[in-house]
Structure 1
């Protein structure tokens, strides 16, 4: 880890000014991922701007939209009564992530910004286009058990590690970003990127921008829902495959559906075509099996992760079945 400057501010405008003037400055909040990356030499910012004292810790309902400040901790969000009542799918996704100790420190904005846990990305002696563009992808033809089966490219097959983000993409969240020029809002599904030819770019956040809040519109998907995470051990393990499923069911017919996956792509993987397929269909095992088959269109394994081609559809079927069972 290199020497770095540490600056603390409690004013959003000041924080934005500091990072916009210095190309080697970055924000730090909980630091649960950034500090690890710095220790391993994967990233080396010369200035850290501590934003923990910015006024971004609100959780409030405004005009049927839940506003969540970027500095709300994962644990505070999971335990919030509004979230439990209105967005229980998000609560389950949050509680599936990391450990209780990390959730107490990790922030919503930081969770969105966390980087892949691919071993080649963390090992600076190995080739990784995400860490060093043009060096190659060690995971292709290497150890790739945890890697992507959707949206891959010849440049990168890493996966996005967040559970929270899988829940958020399923709930049609929006992200509010601030810069010295003002605020802009984008759909959560457009925040993260597929690897393509630029795997070093995890998201569409521009230099000098700060995540200030999330906005989630109220919906009727808080009765039949489930977040299913398949992993190697019960606690503190990243997903092999995860599924966020929420259904609106009337007289055993699905009138609305949300479905997203984690552990399978470079970004949270929303299954919008499958959602459309489910609408108007009976909430039966046969329907869920057809949906799972449709969800796997375009999936591709890379050897050691071929088992995901079977695990993924089975996880979808199980998540939908468990969502239906809630009443």
Structure 2
């Protein structure tokens, strides 16, 4: 697996270069897409494995081509349509994939621009490509779980039935997660009634539903906070077991540093994890980074000091503050008792995070 992770890392580097220099679809194919197929274990120079400009007549349409067809044991398993790296996949038309999907043996189709790869199958109707991808992989921004998922598509691991089953599971998981996120932000009437029937005796009239709505919203927030706190407790207990004992002569003081040393305290780590939890609705948590300094601990987006989210002023033994940034990078300080008070500023934290995405 480590070899595959390294190959994906190399593709990531190629993708970044291509985004600056590849001006055409052909350049994108050469610089990223063919190396990507090689990383999956396919011989791009063997026409028994990778067929460029694949032609399959569909009805009255003759001579149309899809960019690549990939074979395993003589059977077409994947169709790939390429777009220039500067093309947004959400804006593209990929009609060839839809048409070819139904007239070939393939049950997997990939749409890629060298920056992202979107994976499609036929989880909705047999032999008809789904309208939405079941998996998206961003070559320039990914985590270990996504690499593990991408590893399914390697030639040596390729098992189409398992891939389609996983695709179906991912589709329903994603749909359920999107539904729950909507309920967290603004519970709809049906959701209020479902929960209301469990906690209220009698009919759930419109007036009753409106009375229950704030209580249910507060309960949702409480459940999330409790789950995050449980995970934080597990994390800290694990860290305490493995953390080395500091040397007596250089042990940091309670203020967090001695001389030129900088100590990242448990409360600063907790603050970082809480900001990650708040940000998780909008960005992968790996994009929320911590960078400690003598006078404060910074929480940044993309580990970029030009994208500050907040600062934790936790080194004082008597008073603590958090500095919350806005989209214009203006900092407002607030007195707090500990990292858990960051939840009070969840809306402000989400606002600056969303501003950096625009």
TM-score by length of 1: 0.24
Instruction: Look at both structures and tell me which one has the larger radius of gyration over its CA atoms.
Output: 2
Bigger helix share: 2
TM-score by length of 2: 0.23
